[in-house]
């Protein structure tokens, strides 16, 4: 009789351990699933961002150019969506080259400081 009770206890303990393992695996899978859903949601949110926000971010990150040049480029590219979208996806070196060409094409004084723009605006 003792052997039967011991065997039953082992079986119950074994089942409980299996349940715990299954719950842990389910929990890990659920955590992984939720992380992936979060990544997808972020990608959708970023993809729905209007191109002009990405454009402004790309342009104004090029701090080696004075403010008036950056503003002119934003105005120009905002009016030319196809060029703007192309500018956004270009690597940094190509963006800088495009900016330099734009400065030459529109005779923008690239040697002015951002402070010069602010002083002229307040005059």
Asked whether residue 105 falls in the same domain as residue 77, the answer is yes
Residues 33 and 2 in one domain: yes
Residue 79 and residue 105 in one domain: yes
* CA–CA distances in Å: residue 66 to residues 38, 55, 108: 38, 17, 10
CA distance 69 to 121: 14
Confirm if 97 and 90 have CB atoms less than 8 A apart.
Answer: no
d(CA 74, CA 72): 5
Per-residue pLDDT of the chain (123 residues; tens, 9 = 90+): 555 555 545 555 666 666 666 677 778 888 888 898 888 887 777 766 788 999 999 999 999 999 999 999 999 999 999 999 999 999 999 999 999 999 999 999 866 654 444 444 444
Structure tokens at 50: 């209007």
Cα–Cα distance, 42 to 34 (Å, whole number): 12
The answer to whether the predicted template modeling score (pTM) of the entire model surpasses 0.85 is: no
Residues 39, 73: one domain?
no
Determine the structural domain holding residue 75 and report its residue range: 51-122
Same domain (yes/no): 40, 71:
no
- Yes or no: say if 85 and 53 are a contact pair by the CB < 8 Å rule: no
Instruction: Please count the structural domains in the chain.
Output: 2
For residues 97 and 109, give the distance between their C-alpha atoms in angstroms, rounded to a whole number.
16
């Amino acid at each position: 009789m003792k052997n039967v009770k011991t065997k039953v206890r082992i079986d119950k303990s074994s089942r409980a351990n299996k349940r715990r393992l299954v719950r842990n695996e389910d929990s890990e899978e659920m955590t992984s699933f939720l992380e992936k859903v979060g990544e997808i949601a972020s990608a959708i949110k970023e993809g729905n961002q209007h191109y002009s926000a990405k454009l402004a971010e790309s342009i104004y990150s090029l701090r080696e150019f004075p403010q008036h040049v950056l503003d002119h480029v934003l105005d120009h590219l905002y009016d030319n969506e196809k060029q703007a979208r192309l500018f956004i996806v270009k690597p940094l070196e190509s963006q800088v080259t495009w900016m330099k060409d734009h400065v030459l094409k529109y005779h923008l004084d690239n040697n002015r400081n951002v402070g010069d723009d602010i002083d002229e605006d307040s005059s």
